[in-house]
Structure 1
Amino acid sequence: MRPASSPPRLPTLILLTALAILTLNMFLPALAHMAEALETDYATASLSIGGYLAVTAVVQLFAGPLSDRIGRRPVVLGALAIFIAASAGCAMAGSIEVFLAFRVLQAVVISCFAMSMAIVRDTTAEQKAAGLISYITMAMAVAPMLGPVLGGALDTLLGWRANFWFYAAAGVAMLLLAWADLGETRQHKGPGQRKGGYLELLAEPRFWGFALCTMSSTGAFYTFIAGAPLVATETFGITSATLGMIIGSITAGFMFGSFLSGRLTRRFEVTTMMLLGRIVACIGLSVGLAAVLGGHVELWSYFASTIMLGLGNGLTMPSAHAGILSVRPDLAGTAAGFNGALTVAGGAVLTTFTAVVLVRTDPPAMLLAIMLALSVAGLAATLWVRRLRRVAPPAPTAT
């Protein structure tokens, strides 16, 4: 066991993030079997996805400030303990009502993602934090791709409940790892966070610059996820297998961008990396939209432009997260939690908006136009925060 004050190793933070993300969609292939076993309809069973996302937004609003008050370690350990119990409850549930109640409790695991971000900023300077966050965000891309594959195999071999027993076992393993490796890293000990923490953070224009960049950049990705199936089937008439490859391609672009970010942030300031990512995304989407408006609607050229969004987001997001956490290092947990809640809420609104708008317009052009508009908004936010930082440089990391 490491000393109580020592920071955790990077693999521990990556695994904490992966577990938090994996919990969202691993069991999706088993959803129909779950609905049948619990004697409910598919729509009701699907509340385990939409309802879960809504609760994660609320959880982050409370977990972040709580970690600034009592520390990162107790929040992580407490969240994992609740997650283990909730996962076992889901696995043993005999009705949809009991299942959904435990599923809501599972949402506390999202705290581990917010805490991973805050811990990195607690222990490293802003520019180095961006590099480490790059590798953590790669787990955000890999986990959703591999999760459904594992979940489908567990459902086929052992039944849908095996997914939730897997969650419980993974939670136990992570609890033991966190207990041994995760020391307390909160910088400002003593009386804890002031009651006005949220108000003080939200009064910072720099926080809003970083947060708006993050929300709009991630929102463009959510828009793609909502609109790509419609465009792919109605415009290009492709199979589900090909659609899966296309959706995976934007994630692959994000992973490559995150990898590059981990290398480049050693040399470039965070807003420079954000600017580079926004320019890449805007150029790629602009070329794609111009081609569509010019009558050149080709499958691979169309989705090549969306891969550029993934690449741009991979370059932008780690530095944007590091910037958010650096506005007020003493409120890093609060910043991580509130930004996470904003991102989830914005994603929910944008996916709904996209689904409504695309069916009433020209889907290929409109999808790229919405994504481009959001990327431009992220570019504008980046330019704004660069200007603000010339006046007020980031605070140093306390040690």
Structure 2
Amino acid sequence: MSQPPDGPRLSTLILLSALCILPINIFLPSLTGMAAEFDVDYGVIGLSLAGYAGASAVLQIVLGPLSDRFGRRPVILGGLAIFLVATLGCIFAPNIWSFLGFRLLQAVIAPTYAVALAVIRDTTGKEEAASRIGYVAMAWAVAPMLGPSLGGLLDENFGWRASFWFLEAFALAIFALCWSDLRETNLSPSASLCAQFRTYPDLLAARRFWAYALCMAFSVGAFFAFLAGAPLAAGYAYDLSPAALGLAMGSITCGFMFGSFLSGRFAGRFRLTEMMLAGRTLACAGLLLGLALYAAGADHVMALLGPCMLVGVSNGLTIPSANAGAISVRPQLAGSAAGLASAITVAGGAAMSSVASAVLTPENARYALLLVMLGSAAIAFATALIAHLLERERS
């Protein structure tokens, strides 16, 4: 059996992961000022967020197969190069429509996270891949926490374009780092691009892939439900200030960082599905505890946030292993699997966010949020159990 190729330093992939997520929200504190400068309604400038998310979801499906056909290195370096050009376009955009066009082009950086996961799978076994993905996921979690704060400081001192200048400098540094450190790890590229895209039915027919991907989707779904419902549940019920509400909403992300750290430490010692089941059990138990506290009349904000923080920890335990499992179902299709799994995960998060927004009202927000999150976590538990049973059948 051939030895796996040498991979890049873990720090390279961690920094690339941070760059993949930072552009989503670093400029959010500047939206009102940008709307005023471009002389457009706030809803128009808001397209810079919604359009970016939509473009990144589509590109997840495209760049994965491209990396299986042409290699991980050219896809990552090409994505970084396009991002550098697009970011300059955002900085010097003369009007809102050119800005939005370059902003959509910036979305090419987001799917390079999935390609980075394929690099990890190329160079490690399944369990070790979950461990490394756990550390990479910590950057994926901390970047959106720090992004708005950094963007706000840059805007306050230098104007909204400073956030994009920061992204330009950061991306240039990552490009140089990947150029020197990222060797090609896909040693068995597919014969043609058409042949590569024809592999999607093979993935879609694999029950284990669906079990891993849906576990990720509904694990992330509970997180997105929290983001959609927490401002109403915590803000209305406990009359939190905007600053306090922001800190409260960061609690689940802090939990995710801690869970990802635990995955980095322990995933290599346990089966992937064992880590997933442990995480899903913690999520369901935490949310049931929250409902029990509500039924008992506990009237403190931590009665809501504490259980939600446990969901963050559980996601940190689950998602690296589920990711490693999804891209290991067909190792020769790791890039395609990573991209498709990421697209399914984004769809699951969007669906649960919509459910939370539709169901919650000021009167029911405290317990309804926990119920929606519990429903998503329970589906994730069921799919983790299915993945466990399917893996036992194979062994």
- TM band (smaller chain): over 0.9
User: Is residue 324 of structure 2 the alignment partner of residue 322 of structure 1?
Assistant: yes
Q: Aligned residue for 1:196?
A: 198
Moved over 4 A (4+): none
Shift of 1:166: 1.6
Correspondence 1:101 to 2:108: no
For 1:47, the equivalent position in structure 2 comes to: 47
**8 Å Cα contact 2:76-2:112 kept in structure 1:** yes
% of aligned pairs identical? 49
- Counterpart of 1:11, as a letter, is S
Distance 1:46 1:136 in 2: 29
User: 1:262 corresponds to which residue?
Assistant: 264
User: What is the RMSD of the two structures over their aligned residues, measured on CA atoms?
Assistant: 1.3
Q: Residue 235 of structure 1: SS of its match in structure 2? A: helix
Q: In structure 2, the residue corresponding to 1:58 is in which secondary structure?
A: helix
The superposition leaves residues 215-256 of structure 1 with CA deviations (integer Å, 9 ceiling, x where unpaired) of 000000000000000011211111112111111111111111
Shift, 1:261, TM fit: 1.3
C-alpha spacing 1:303/1:360, structure 2 compared with 1 (3 Å): closer
Q: Which residue in 1 is equivalent to 2:392?
A: 390
- Structure 2: distance between partners of 1:57 and 1:194: 19
In structure 2, distance between residues paired with 1:227 and 1:325: 32
Structure 1 residue matching 2:110: 3-state secondary structure: helix
Return the letter of the residue paired with 1:205. Answer: R
After superposition, give the CA deviation of every residue in 1:346-392 in whole Å (9 maximum; x if it has no partner).
Answer: 22222222112102861111100010111111110011011111122
CA distance in 1, matches of 2:166, 2:160: 10
AA aligned opposite 2:298: H
Whether the aligned pair in 1 keeps the contact of 2:219 and 2:380 (CA below 8 Å) is yes
The aligned residue for residue 349 of structure 1 is 351
Provide Cα deviations, 1:80-135, integer angstroms capped at 9, x if missing partner: 01000000000111211110000000000012201111100000000000000000
Match of 2:379 among 377, 380, 389: 377
Q: Is the 8 A contact 1:187 1:330 kept in 2?
A: no
Contact 1:54 1:345 in 2 (8 A): no
TM-score for both structures, normalised by structure 1: 0.95
Query: Which residue of the partner structure matches residue 334 of structure 2?
Result: 332
Q: Which residue of 2 aligns with 1:35?
A: 35
Show structure 2 runs of 5+ residues with no match: none
User: What SS does structure 1 have at the residue aligned with 2:269?
Assistant: coil
Q: Which amino acid aligns with 1:301?
A: A
Do 1:26 and 1:144's aligned partners in 2 also have CA atoms closer than 8 Å?
Answer: yes
The answer to whether the 8 A contact 1:285-1:371 is kept is yes
**Alignment partners' CA distance in 1, 2:190 and 2:140:** 33
> Which has the higher mean CA deviation after the structures are superposed, 254-263 or 276-285?
254-263
Equivalents in 1 of 2:303, 2:363: separation in Å?
Answer: 21
Is the 1:39–1:95 Cα contact (8 Å) retained in structure 2?
Answer: no
Matched residue, 2:228? 226
CA distance 1:275–1:44, shift in 2 (3 Å)? same
Aligned 1:262-281 pairs, distance under 5 A: 262-281=264-283
Aligned counterpart, 1:397: none
Q: CA deviation at 1:189?
A: 3.2
- 1:135-189, Cα deviation, whole Å (9 max, x unpaired): 0000011101111111111111111111112212222111111111110001423
More off after superposition, 76-85 vs 383-392: 383-392
Q: Please tell me whether the aligned partners of residues 22 and 147 of structure 1 are also in contact (alpha carbons under 8 angstroms).
A: yes
Between the aligned partners of 1:168 and 1:82, the Cα distance in structure 2 is 11
Contact 1:114 1:337 in 2 (8 A): yes
How far the C-alpha of 1:194 sits from its partner, in A, is 3.8
- Distance in 1 between the 2:190 and 2:150 partners? 44
Q: Offset at 1:44?
A: 0.8
CA distance in 2, matches of 1:269, 1:294: 38
The equivalent of 1:169 in structure 2 is 169
Q: Report the Cα distance in structure 1 between the residues aligned to 2:248 and 2:66, rounded to whole angstroms.
A: 40
Bigger mean CA offset, 181-190 vs 307-316: 181-190
